[in-house]
Chains A and B, each alone.
Chain A
Amino acid sequence: MLVIRRRAGESVFIGDGVEVEVLEIAGNQVKIGISAPRDVLILRREVRLTAEQNELAANSMSFASLAGLFGKMRHSPQGPQSPGDKER
C-alpha cells in the first residue's frame, strides 16, 4: 500500500481523472472530497462488503438443505426462548 501524508486542503491524483482531497480533519474523522468521472464507482468499504455478502447470500440452496441446517435451531441451547413463540 502506498502511504502518503497530507494535510487538510492538500490532495492527490489517482490516474487521469480522480482527485482525492483532504477537506477537514476533526477528532478521529477525516472528511475527504473525491472528484472523479461519472463512470467511476465510489463506495464506502462497508457498502462494498455488504454488496459482496449479499451476492453470496443470494446463492442457491435447496429447501431440504435449509430445513436440515436451520430446522433444529430453535432447539439450540443458546437460542433465546421467548414465550409466546409459535409451535416449535
Chain B
Amino acid sequence: MEIETKYFGSVSPDAGSVVEFPLGLPAFERERGFLAIEHPRTAPLVLLQSMSTPDLCFLALPIGEVDPNYRLQISAEDRAVLGLDQTSDPASGPGVAVMALVAVRHDGQISANLMSPLVVNRANRRAIQSVRCDGAYSHQHPLALPPAGTGAQERPCS
C-alpha cells in the first residue's frame, strides 16, 4: 500500500518507519498513524507524514539537537499509553526516541516545542505527545539555525 505524502508524492511505507499515536496529538486527535521519514537533505529533521492526510506533515527534531541537556519527564498515564515500564527511566535508555515538533511562523521565526515532546517507544512504535506541566521548558523555544544559503552568490569563489 502506497502513502500519499506532502513532499515526496506517493511512497511505500518502507520509506520510513510507521509510528502510532493512540491518542493523536492535541488539535489533531484523529491523526493516529504517521510515517517518520529522514531525508539526507534535511537531516537531522524528521518528517512526520500523516498516513491519512496527505497534506499534513509535521517537522520534528531529535530533542538532543535542540537541547543536549534536555531532561525528559513523563507522567504515569503517558507511560501507560506507550507501554513503558512505570519505574524505568525512559530518558536514559535507547528504548525511546524523543523529538520536538518544529514550527515555522510566517515571519520566519522557527521554534521547537520543548514543553510537549514527542516520545516514541521504539519497541512497539507507539508514540505520544507528552505535555509537561512543570513549566521547565518553553512551547516556543527559539531555534538558531545556520543562515540558509540563498544560492550561488554565497559560495566562495573557486
Contacts and interface: CB of A to CB of B under 8 A. Distances in A.
Interface string B141-158: 000111011100000000
Chain B's interface size range is 35 or more
B103 A80 contact: no
A57 B147 CA distance: 21
Interface residues of A, number: 35
B26 A58 contact: no
B121 interface: no
B23 to A, nearest CB: 11
Contacts of A56: 103, 105
A1 interface: no
A73 B27 contact: no
B7 A50 contact: no
Contacts of B45: 66, 70, 73
A41 B131 CA distance: 18
Given A50-B131, A73-B65, A66 B139 contact: no
B145 A72 contact: yes
Contacts of B132: 46
Interface in A43-72: 44, 46-61, 63, 66-72
A48 B148 CA distance: 32
A61 B148 CA distance: 15
B110 A69 contact: yes
Contact of B28 (A46, A47, A58, A74): A58
Interface string B1-44: 00000011000000000000000011110000000000011111
17 contacts: A47-B26, A48-B26, A50-B139, A53-B103, A54-B27, A54-B28, A54-B101, A56-B105, A57-B59, A57-B113, A61-B104, A66-B45, A67-B41, A70-B42, A71-B42, A72-B148, A87-B40
Interface of B: 7-8, 25-28, 40-45, 55-56, 58-59, 64-65, 68, 101-106, 110, 113, 115-116, 129, 131-133, 139-140, 144-146, 148-150
